[in-house]
A = this chain, B = another copy of it.
Amino acid sequence: MPTNELQHRVVIVGGGFGGLYAAKSLKRAPVAVSVIDRRNFHLFQPLLYQVATGALSPGEIASPLRVVLRNNRNTEVLLGEVTDLDVENRRVILRDGEAPYDDLIIATGATHFYFGHDEQWAPLAPGLKTVEDATEIRSRLLVAFERAEREHDAAKRRAWLNFVIVGGGPTGVELAGALGEIANDTLRHDFRHIDPREAHIVLVEGEPRVLPSFPPDLSAKAEQQLIALGVQARTAARVTAIDPDGVTVKTGDREERIATHTVLWAAGVRASRMGKVLAERAGAQLDKAGRVIVEPDLSVKGHPEIFVIGDLASFNHQGERQLPGVAPVAMQEGRYVANLIRDRVEGKAAPAAFHYFNKGNLATIGRNKAVAEFGKLHIAGFLAWFTWVFVHLMYLVEFDNRVLVLTEWVHNYITRNRGARLITGGKP
């Protein structure tokens, strides 16, 4: 159904949680919606670490945007790359075309940030944002064990069995925990010359405790659970050097050299390139991380027709501290902006300022291991883990993949196996 030229046109850039929920919430609005993304699928990023650690396949946590938005008859999906904005004429400039808008929603998220060492560190310490990142990390983890199995020199073998994860937030903790399980459970009987349980997994966090966004008691519980999986946390520590043969970690005045070929990056994030474009073209103000500082209604100052949501937005109103870059924030922001636009088109009064309703925070560490915070209720262990599983399946309900993911999880839980352990991509 080609869009009606006379209709109010809403262009959404980015098909992540923010953009997708904005589009879905506009389903019955009298507007023509275009969702533009470089990728043809929505990625369920909270489970991406499970692809990186071989528990799930990429296809199981990704849904084609066209399928997810198939029943939104007022919505078209454009596979394309946005290169610029023409704010005066209200047009989004694509590499191979343009898209005019009346209202624009930018939801292009964030990318890795290596604290100024991007060129040197990025190839040595991949981060986890895309499907390709995940399969690259998966290959590196598996290749490390394979190289150890074939290595006769004890010191070299040791280096292949050392793993360093930089960043002790939820992603770093999830990766470290999953890697601990791989070493202790999954691969236990797979090799003939090494014992995978000899793997050393080091988690480096700059703050004095892991999961610094959680309450201290849950950080302590998480650290205990990590220790049970053979993960050593280095807190109040920072990485000062990464090279192909190892990592230098500085804790206070003490410098430690860890020989390793496998470093994963779960530390810094920086706003995606659209932040700069908005600054240049719409005069948007950016915070230190390059995020767009938005108005209480998530619009860009001076541009009530341009909204920024999700990880790209810096929202600090009503005394709230910077909202975290997590899916629930992006989803609520997407719904808020969609409702605002619909109300505006229908001539209704402007809504109150955006307010994030925090339903709780969850971080999983491994089998039966997780921490959860619901206001004053703090839980850890099996119950937190089960809640995590339940919540993630619930959110997958919007997609086709929940049966598959559940099948994999039940299978993995029973067999302690991870079937998607493929080394793919480059030459092995």
Partner-binding segment picked from A217-225, A342-350, A413-421: A413-421
Task: Identify A76's interface contact among B62, B79, B192, CB under 8 A.
Answer: B192
Chain B min CB distance to A416 (Å): 11
The chain B residue with its CB closest to the CB of A401 is B419
A142 interface residue per 8 A CB criterion: yes
Chain B min CB distance to A162 (Å): 19
- The answer to whether A423 and B40 have CB atoms under 8 Å apart is yes
B residues within 8 A CB of A373?
Answer: none
A215 interface residue per 8 A CB criterion: no
A58 interface residue per 8 A CB criterion: yes
- The answer to whether B415 and A400 have CB atoms under 8 Å apart is yes
Cα–Cα, bound, A138→B252 (Å): 51
Please report A residues at the B interface, Cβ cutoff 8 Å. Answer: 1-3, 38-41, 56-60, 62-64, 66-67, 70, 76, 78-80, 96-97, 131-132, 142-143, 146, 149-150, 187, 189-193, 400-401, 403-404, 407-408, 411, 415, 417, 419-425, 428
30 pairs, CB–CB < 8 Å, chain A vs chain B: A3-B192, A39-B423, A40-B146, A41-B422, A57-B58, A57-B59, A57-B420, A59-B60, A59-B420, A64-B190, A64-B419, A64-B422, A66-B190, A67-B421, A70-B189, A76-B193, A79-B143, A79-B146, A79-B149, A79-B150, A79-B423, A80-B150, A97-B150, A131-B424, A400-B417, A400-B419, A403-B407, A404-B408, A404-B411, A407-B407
Excluding A40-B146, A59-B422, A67-B417, 7 further A-B contacts by CB distance (< 8 Å) are A38-B428, A41-B422, A66-B187, A67-B190, A76-B192, A400-B411, A400-B415
